[in-house]
Amino acid sequence: MFRQSFHELILATRGRGLVEFTGAVEQWIADNHFRDGLVTLHLRHTSASLLIQENADPDVRRDLDAFFARLVRDGDPLFVHTAEGDDDMPAHIRTVLTTVNLSLPLHAGRLALGTWQGIYLWEHRTHPHSRRVTLHFIGE
Amino acid sequence: MFRQSFHELILATRGRGLVEFTGAVEQWIADNHFRDGLVTLHLRHTSASLLIQENADPDVRRDLDAFFARLVRDGDPLFVHTAEGDDDMPAHIRTVLTTVNLSLPLHAGRLALGTWQGIYLWEHRTHPHSRRVTLHFIGE
Amino acid sequence: MFRQSFHELILATRGRGLVEFTGAVEQWIADNHFRDGLVTLHLRHTSASLLIQENADPDVRRDLDAFFARLVRDGDPLFVHTAEGDDDMPAHIRTVLTTVNLSLPLHAGRLALGTWQGIYLWEHRTHPHSRRVTLHFIGE
């Protein structure tokens, strides 16, 4: 029988960097005995992203952040929107270059993630923040 | 009881830049009394994007466009696909760097948007266009 | 009556470049007589992307790859994660700059694709790979 369910995760960040939360999504699925359906994640912010990326070598996350820091420079004189700090407009752009939306099939109680895929929150601001992710399930 | 619904929005752009249409999506939801479910938006074009971004300070949109104009230069001699104008291949690349797909949970009649999030069509061509966005709802 | 269905496509790539597979998705839809609903595609890898882009002029795909090769250089000394080759970290970054998730409304048996839109797998590694895409349908 079809049903749906909503949940909100609140994730604390320690400033710029990637925070894996695959486990928290899987826990919500297990607690509710969801079997087959579609899981949607939406991040309710404009200066952080949702990301599916490699969960093995931490150097991948280090290189990701190094690349983005070079591509979108804090304090770039191009930017007019600077009232909230040198890292604010770069944080919006980093969000635009990635995404705040993910949709994952769930089959036999397991998310359709590949072996090396983890679900991350990517904080783009340099200071710690509290970030809210809305979870939605529709299925059986 | 579960149901689904389809709709198409036609949005006029005035050339390169961001057009907010959160209100049109919310109007469709209100008109149909959708309560809980998943709202999917798909843009049927390859030289414009869908975007969720800050809806407060217009300088954010100005800086976004300035950054992308510098990152993907009109008339870059790298490009072979130039028959439709200097801004055409950059428009495809800007679309690839962003997205044409969004999925938003709807809970108690409200989209799961953050306080500062708006839904935008980002026109990447320099001339005005008419753009079609397919809306889909599944839920209760 | 609502139902859902899962499928997995296995796509062979010949190294870096775009592989269209719109036809394989449409075939799955036709074989199962899906009419109205939501089709979700998830790529189970972190060094390749899913993409909706222009299916007419092959120069568009050539220019896309040329732009990304210049933006994210193989062997860039910035990268620490190099054990799997010069093209590995760039492949992760190219994936992050695009996406591994797509959601497409299906109406009257037809995907809501625009006239010029095709569904592509974008291989970012230089060597051939076998890539898995999970398909999910929910609807009628």
Query: What is the pLDDT, as a whole number, of residue C1?
Result: 83
Average pLDDT over residues B39-45: 98
ipTM for the complex?
0.96
Cβ <8 Å between A81 and B112: no
Mean pLDDT for C13-26 is 97
pLDDT band (50, 70, 90) for residue C117 = very high
The answer to whether residues B78 and C70 touch, using CB atoms and an 8 Å cutoff, is yes
Residue C138 CA: distances (Å) to CA of A29, B22, C126: 18, 25, 35
Contact list in C for residue A113 (CB cut-off 8 A) is 44
Cβ <8 Å between B134 and C112: yes
Kindly report the average pLDDT of chain C as a whole number: 97
The residue length of chain B stands at 140
Under an 8 A CB cutoff, do C134 and A107 touch?
Answer: yes
Question: Is the pLDDT score of B59 beyond 90?
Answer: yes
- Answer yes or no: is pLDDT of C56 > 90: no
What pLDDT does residue B10 have? Answer: 98
For C76, which residue in chain A has the nearest alpha carbon?
A67
Out of B38, B51, B99, name the one closest to residue A136 (CB).
B38
Give the residues across from A123 on adjacent strands: A17, A48
Q: What one-character DSSP code corresponds to residue A121?
A: E
Distances (CA, A) of C14 to B57, C65, C123: 46, 14, 8
Contact C40 A103 (CB under 8 A): yes
Residues 6+ apart with CB under 8 A from A13: A19, A48, A121, A123, A125, A128, A129, A130, A131
Average the pLDDT over C55-69 and give the result. 93
Please report the DSSP string for C10-36 in residue order. Answer: EEE--SSEEEE-HHHHHHHHHHTT--S
Find out whether B46 and B124 touch, Cβ atoms under 8 Å.
Answer: no
What is residue B55's predicted lDDT score, i.e. its pLDDT?
A: 86
Chain A neighbours, 3+ Cβ pairs < 8 A? B, C
Q: Which residues of C touch B76 (CB under 8 A)?
A: 67
Calpha distance B37→B135 (Å, rounded)? 13
Whether residue C43 contacts residue C49, with contact meaning beta carbons closer than 8 Å, is answered with: yes
Asked whether the beta carbons of residue B112 and residue A136 sit closer than 8 angstroms, the reply is yes
pLDDT of residue A57: 87
How confident is the prediction for chain B on average, in pLDDT?
Answer: 97
Render each residue's pLDDT in chain A as its tens digit; 140 residues.
899 999 999 999 999 999 999 999 999 999 999 999 999 999 999 999 999 998 888 999 999 999 999 999 999 999 999 989 999 999 999 999 999 999 999 999 999 999 999 999 999 999 999 999 999 999 99
Q: For residues C48-58, give the mean pLDDT.
A: 93
Which residues of chain A from 77 to 116 reach within 8 Å of chain C, CB to CB?
97-99, 101-105, 107, 112-116
Query: Which helix (H) or strand (E) is A60 found in, with range?
Result: helix A58-71
pLDDT at A16: 97
| Ramachandran sector of residue B37 (left: φ over 0; alpha: ψ -120 to 50; beta: rest) | left
Instruction: Confirm if A67 and C88 have CB atoms less than 8 A apart.
Output: no
Q: Is A128 exposed, middle or buried (0-12, 13-18, 19+ CB in 10 A)?
A: exposed
Q: Given CB atoms, is C7 within the 8 Å cutoff of chain A? A: no
- SS3 for B101? strand
Residue from the list C62, C70, C103 with its beta carbon closest to the beta carbon of B40? C103
Please tell me if residue A46 touches chain B, with a CB cutoff of 8 Å: yes
Helix axes B88-97, B58-71, angle to 10 degrees: 120
State whether residue C95 is helix, strand or coil: helix
Which phi and psi (to 5°) does residue B43 adopt? -90, 125
Q: What residues of C are in contact with residue A103 (Cβ under 8 Å)?
A: 40, 42, 101, 103
Residue A52 CA to residue A73 CA, distance in Å, equals 23
Contact at CB, B46 and C67, closer than 8 angstroms: no
pLDDT per residue over B7-17, tens digit each?
A: 999 999 999 99
CB-CB contact of C2 with A2 (8 Å): yes
Position C55 scores a pLDDT of 86
